[in-house]
Structure formats: C-alpha cells, structure tokens
Amino acid sequence: MKIYRVGGAVRDKLLNYPCYENDWVVVGSSPEEMIKLGYQPVGNDFPVFIKTETGEEYALARTERKSGVGYQGFTFHTAPNISLEDDLIRRDLTINAMAEDADGNIIDPYGGQKDLRRKVLRHVSDAFIEDPLRVLRVARFAARYHHLGFTIAPETEALMKSIVNRGELADLIAERVWKETDRALCEQSPDLFIQTLRNCGALAALLPEVNALFGVAQRADYHPEIDTGIHTLMALQQAAILSDKPAIRFAVLVHDLGKGVTPSHILPSHSGHEARGLPLVKAVCDRLKAPNEHRQLAMIVTEFHLLCHKALELRPTTLLTLLKTVGAIKSPTKLEDFLTCCTADAKGRTGFESRDYASAPYLRAATKALQGLDISDIVNSGVNGAEIGKQLALRQIDALQQLKDTYHR
C-alpha cells in the first residue's frame, strides 16, 4: 500500500501558488484494509475515505469507463493492482495528472511539469471528451491562471467545442454547473471564465442570457466600449478587484441581462432594461439553483443600479425608498455589497476604470444621517405605531433634504 498526494496540491506547489487542501490516492489497498486502518468510508460512487485526524480525503486508485450520459455517466473500478499511472490518466489536464510520494518525489507520466513551464492547459488523453463538466473546469483554470500567462492548448479547445457541439452540456446537473461557476467567479480573472465559455460555444448553452449581451450596442457617450458583453466582462474585472465575495461577482455578471432583450427600435438606448432584466435574472437563478444570498443581491442590483448611479440627483423620497429597499439602514453589509456592485458597473467602462464613484460616499452619508435620527420624542408622545411610522418617514425625508442641500462632493 502506497499513498500519494495528487492533483491540485502538487500543481500549485510546483507553481508556488496558494493551495489550502490536499487530495490523496491510495495504491495497492482495498476498502476492507482502509476501514481496518481506521479510515472512514464516504460516498457511494467509488471508495473514498476520510482520515479522521485531518479530515482529508483518500481515494483508492481507480479506472473509469463511460457508461452513460453527463458527469455521472461513468463506471468506476478499483482494485489493489490498479497503478498510479492508471489513476492519473483519467484526469482532465496534464497539470492535474501529477503525484508526489512520501519523499517529495514528483511522479509525472503525462508531461504536467513541461506544460507548467510552457503555461499550457492541455488535456491528458482523448477520454477528455467523455466528461462534459471538463469544459467548465478548463474554463475555471483559465480564469485561475490567466494572470500567470496560461493559455488553453488549441487541441484541447477543439475537444471542448466538440463536447458543446454534441449537446452534452445539456446532461450536466444544475448543482455541478453552479459549483464550477461559483468557484470560477472566485478566481483572479473571472471574466476569463465567461470569455472561455463563449469561445467554445458553451456560454450559449449554459448562460444564454449572458451570451445574448455580446454584439448588443450601447450609447457611446455612456459606454465608450459600445458592446454590452464587453462591458459585462469589464465590470466583472472591476468586481474582482473590489471584492472577493462570490455573490457580488455573480450580481455584476447578471446585472445587465435586460439589455440582451432591448427592443431593436430603441437601440442603442436601453431604457427600461432594469425591469426587463428581472425575470431573466430569476430564470438564471432558478435554473442554476443559486443560493438565496446570490439571488437577492442580483435582483436588487439589477433593479436599482441605475438609481444608484443617479443618487445625487434623486429626490429625498426616492432616495429613502432606495435605501430601505436595499436594506441599508439596518444592514451596513447589504449597503456595502450593493455599492460595490454598482461601483464595479460604473468603473467597468472604457476610460472610467480609475474614476471615483461619487454615489458611494453620498449613499453612505445618507444612510448615516438616517441612522443618527433621534425619534424618542415621537415614541414618548404616545402616538400609535402607524403614526410613529409616518412621523419617522417625514423626519427621514427632512434629514435627506438637508444632506442634499449641504453635501459637497
């Protein structure tokens, strides 16, 4: 029985890139022996065990054979005579098909180290096409390592296109698509995930609402980059600079979906795109089974990002409604997440990347003014709850009017 560190931990160690988890492969053992040694079995698809001292996963070396459709359409076989090389060849990319033994020696039967030096994402074997999820995984690695200069091998991109053209992405379950998308949005260059999917045709299959934004014109005075899809990628770049929260990055990705269905006769204007975008954002969240945190922020940003951009022009009543809807008065976190999304949208335009976003400090000042109101006299006056609410709203509107009259940018 031999144990090897495999996959991402080996890859990132060689790249001197941060990695926070280990995967292990066990060669020459059996489920019975693993249990006897104190490992705890988990999962039903193939033998994986947890080492209780560390909580890390140890998988028996295995081979696999395509037996159905989609990510789960495989039959796995484990046995003590399956070699490390047999296990590694089933992996997606050469840089993920390396192992490290207990002495620190690297086992690299498929040229992973060479591709690390060349900065190439290359498939291990033609079995790559058997798993449609690998299209998303390669796109995620492109987003992860783009800043280091990594590119996708042309022959690997050709296989990704082949998977898409055969319609196999339709067999992926929503949870797997969401997991890869969410992880990709957390990478250093999430815009490269979207661009890579678009290059191979996968974006049209998985996120047609986002794909529809490319080629749609916008007013050049507001958007010098013109193309709505390009603006979305630029805004996503800014979101990655401003925050590492996946919910923020997702909200920025989908905030302009309404522009993809703007009636052609009003282009390049996109009047009303916020309302048109709401059902599209809902559809994406429903289809991918996005968490509530992502859904709620995406809906708020989609509906109100234009109002946020015009914050200094808003009447106090409109501003109060905006802050209440965002949840700003009760939750500083909700306010900051909303402002971060809107800032990314504003900066995600050609020539606007380094400009200050004036709406953010103004809305913070407005929220602070509302939070500092003392209404003890109203409460102590003995009026009922409804009347308290009315008088509070009047006092809030007055505070926002005073701020508007005295605020200096």
CATH code of 154's domain: 1.10.110.30
User: Is 284 in the same domain as 395?
Assistant: yes
258 is a domain residue? yes
168 is a domain residue? yes
User: Is 5 in the same domain as 50?
Assistant: yes
227 is a domain residue? no
Q: How many folded domains does the chain comprise? A: 3
Domain that holds residue 345: 239-409
Which of 88, 116, 144 is the endpoint of a domain? 116
What separation in angstroms does the CA of 289 have from each of 37, 197, 277?
39, 20, 18
Number of C-beta neighbours around residue 257 at 10 A: 28
Q: What is the CATH number of the domain that holds 57?
A: 3.30.460.10
User: Is 361 in the same domain as 275?
Assistant: yes
Question: Does the structure show a pLDDT above 70 at 70?
Answer: no
Task: State how far the Cα of 139 lies from the Cα of 144, in Å rounded to an integer.
Answer: 9
- Report pLDDT digits (tens) over 192-245: 999 999 999 999 999 999 999 999 999 999 999 999 999 999 999 999 999 999
- Report pLDDT digits (tens) over 117-136: 999 999 999 999 999 999 99
What pLDDT band is residue 21 in, cutting at 50, 70 and 90? confident
Tallying the residues shown for the chain, one arrives at: 409
62 is a domain residue? yes
Quick one: tokens of 6? 């495999």
Calculate the average pLDDT of the chain. Answer: 93
Where helices occur in 222-272 by DSSP H, the ranges are 228-242, 246-254
pLDDT of residue 151: 98
373 is a domain residue? yes
The predicted model gives 376-400 an average pLDDT of: 83
Q: Are strands 48-51 and 120-121 parallel, antiparallel or unpaired?
A: unpaired
pLDDT of residue 241: 98
Question: Does the structure show a pLDDT above 90 at 306?
Answer: yes
Which of 101, 116, 131 is the endpoint of a domain? 116
Quick one: tokens of 130? 């058997």
Which of 59, 86, 116 is the endpoint of a domain? 116
269 is a domain residue? yes
217 is a domain residue? no
What pLDDT band is residue 62 in, cutting at 50, 70 and 90? confident
Q: What are phi and psi of 245, to 5 degrees?
A: -75, 125
